[in-house]
Amino acid sequence: MPHPLGSPFVRDQLSLRTVPANERGVCGQRPFVLYWMQGTQRLEDNWALRLATVEADRVNKPLLVLHTIDSGSQYASARFHTFMLQGAQELASRAERLGITYRLMICRGGQHCTTSIERLAADTALIVTDLFPTEGVAQRTARVASRVDCRVLAVDSVGLVPAACFDREEYSARTIRPKLHRLLATAAEAVEDRAPKRPFPASLADGLATSTVDPRRFEIAALVQPCNVDHAVPPVATRGGLTAARQRLDTFVSNGLTDYCRRRSVPSDAGGTSRLSGHLHYGMISPLEVYNAARAAADAREGEAFVEEMLTWRELSLNFCLRNPGYASLASSPAWAQRSMAAHAGDTRPVTHGLDTLERAQSADPIWNAGQRELVETGAMHPIVRMLWGKALVEWAPTYEAAFTWMIHLNDRYSLDGRDPASYAGVHWCFGKFDRPFTTRAVWGTIRPMSLTRARLKYDLGDYVARWQPTPAAQVA
C-alpha cells in the first residue's frame, strides 16, 4: 500500500528534503500557496508539489503550480526550450485531469522570471520551489527568497535518497554506495499523491492570463521562435515529457536491461542504455519510477549494474554539487590531481586543437568527431564515447583550465542532459575526481589516462564511427 500524503513517512521525508530559502513566515492572510516549478518538471513523485499540497491544505488555501521556463538561463536554446515545452504540453493536460491548477510562463530573460514571481508573491502565503544546484535554479531561488516577504522553501526531488542524508561532500562512489543502499530501503517507498483540497478560484486564475500561456493551444515552434535563445542549436528527434520517457523506460527494461553489463560497452548499440538522462535532468520522470521498473524487470546482476549508475553515480554527482560550492571550477579537483596538474602544466602537448575546430567535429580523430557529431545532432552521446571524448580534451586543449571550460561548454550547449550535477561530476571525473592516482605520464601526470588509439582495441567502434559520418545537419553555425 502506498503511503497517503500526510502520513508520518511522508512528513519525515518532507522534512529531510526541505530547505528554507529565507527566514520569513507564512503570510496566512494571503489568498493562495504557490508551487514555483523549475527543475522538477513532473506531477508524480514530486516532493515539492507534495509539500505545497500538504501546506496549502494545512492553511486551507488553494494551490497554484506555476512552471517557469527561463530564456535567460545559460545555454538556453531552441533545443532545450522545445524539449521542455513538449513536457509542458503534457503537464497542462495531466494537471487538468488531476484537478491541479497549472500555468506556464516563458520568461524573456534578464530578471523577468524572478520579478514575475516577486510580483505574484504579494498574493502568496507561501512559495515552494525545487532544490537544484545547477541550471541557475539555486540563484533564481535565492534572489526571490531575499526579495519577497513570505516564506520560501526549496524541496529536493532529485534523488531516490534525500540529499540531506549526506551533510558533507562524499569522497567517491566507494564511500557513498553503502550509505545509499542502507537508506534506499525506506526512502524508495511509494506515496499516493492527491490534488489539493481547495480548488483554485477562476477569478485568481483569470488574473494570470496575460502573463502565462496554455502550451496546448500553440505549435511549439511558434512558442520557441520569438524567444531570445540560441537558435543555432535546433530541436532534436528526442521528445520531452513523461510519455516519451516512459516509452524509453519500457523499451529499455524489456530489451537493453536484460544484457546491460555487456551492451552498455557497445557504442554502436543505441538500445544498450536507457537514454533517459535528458528526461531525468529535467525531472520529467522520477528516479523512483525508473528504479522500480528496473528492479522489477532485471536479474540481480544486470539490475545492480544499472542501479550503480542510476543511484550511486547520479546521487554522488548531486552530493558533489550541493556540498562543494566550487563544483564549477577545476580548483575543486582532489589535492593529488591538483598537484599533478601543477607539475605537468608545462608538458609538451603533441596534438592541440582549438575550440572552434572541436565544436565543428574536425579534430584529427574519427572516433572523437563521431561522438561530437552524435552530440550536436541528437543532443546525446553514448556513455563510453563520452568518457573518451572528455579525456581527449585533457590532452588536446592548450591547458587543463581550457580543457575544463571547453568540455563544459560543448557538453552544456548541446546535450539534453547538460547543466546537470552529473555534467560537472562527469567533466571533473576526466580530471581525477572520484578516482585514484595512476602511474605518471606526460601531460596526464597521475590522472587516469585514456587513449583513443587503445579504445579501438577495447571497444567495437567501427559501426559507431560509420554511423556518425558528417552530414549537412552536423555543420555547427
Ligand X SMILES: Cc1cc2nc3c(=O)[nH]c(=O)nc-3n(C[C@H](O)[C@H](O)[C@H](O)COP(=O)(O)OP(=O)(O)OC[C@H]3O[C@@H](n4cnc5c(N)ncnc54)[C@H](O)[C@@H]3O)c2cc1C
- CB 117 → ligand X: shortest distance, Å? 27
Considering only residues 276, 385, 447, 450, which one is a binding residue for ligand X as defined by CB under 6 A? Answer: 276
Is 452 an interacting residue with respect to ligand X (CB under 6 A)?
A: no
In the shown chain, the binding pattern of residues 379 to 418 toward ligand X, with x for contact by CB under 6 A and - for none, equals ----x--xx--x----------------x---x---x-xx
Considering only residues 233, 420, 455, 464, which one is a binding residue for ligand X as defined by CB under 6 A? Answer: 420
- In terms of CB distance, is 57 or 417 closer to ligand X? 417
- In terms of CB distance, is 151 or 433 closer to ligand X? 433
Is the separation of the CB atoms in 211 and 105 below 8 Å?
yes
- CB 189 → ligand X: shortest distance, Å? 21
Strands 124-130 and 18-20 come out as unpaired
Alpha-carbon distance of 270 to 16, in angstroms, equals 37
- In terms of CB distance, is 55 or 135 closer to ligand X? 135
The candidate with the shortest Cα–Cα distance to 279, out of 243, 309, 314, is 243
Considering only residues 88, 104, 394, 425, which one is a binding residue for ligand X as defined by CB under 6 A? Answer: 425
**What is the C-alpha R_g of the chain?**
23
The CB-side HSE value for 191 (13 A sphere, CA atoms) comes to 27
Considering only residues 317, 319, 363, 378, which one is a binding residue for ligand X as defined by CB under 6 A? Answer: 317
Is 282 an interacting residue with respect to ligand X (CB under 6 A)?
A: no
Considering only residues 86, 372, 423, 446, which one is a binding residue for ligand X as defined by CB under 6 A? Answer: 423
Angle at 357 between CA 390 and CA 73, to 5 degrees: 65
- In terms of CB distance, is 123 or 309 closer to ligand X? 309
Alpha-carbon distance of 178 to 164, in angstroms, equals 16
Alpha-carbon distance of 62 to 285, in angstroms, equals 26
- CB 328 → ligand X: shortest distance, Å? 13
Is 455 an interacting residue with respect to ligand X (CB under 6 A)?
A: no
- CB 40 → ligand X: shortest distance, Å? 14
- In terms of CB distance, is 229 or 290 closer to ligand X? 290
Is 422 an interacting residue with respect to ligand X (CB under 6 A)?
A: yes
Considering only residues 161, 280, 370, 376, which one is a binding residue for ligand X as defined by CB under 6 A? Answer: 280
Strands 63-70 and 32-37 come out as parallel
- Applying CB under 6 A, the site for ligand X has a residue count of 30
Is 313 an interacting residue with respect to ligand X (CB under 6 A)?
A: yes
The candidate with the shortest Cα–Cα distance to 461, out of 389, 355, 390, is 389
- CB 403 → ligand X: shortest distance, Å? 11
Is 248 an interacting residue with respect to ligand X (CB under 6 A)?
A: no
Is 236 an interacting residue with respect to ligand X (CB under 6 A)?
A: no
Binding residues for ligand X, per CB under 6 A? 264, 273-277, 280-281, 309-310, 313-314, 317, 383, 386-387, 390, 407, 411, 415, 417-418, 420, 422-423, 425-427, 429-430
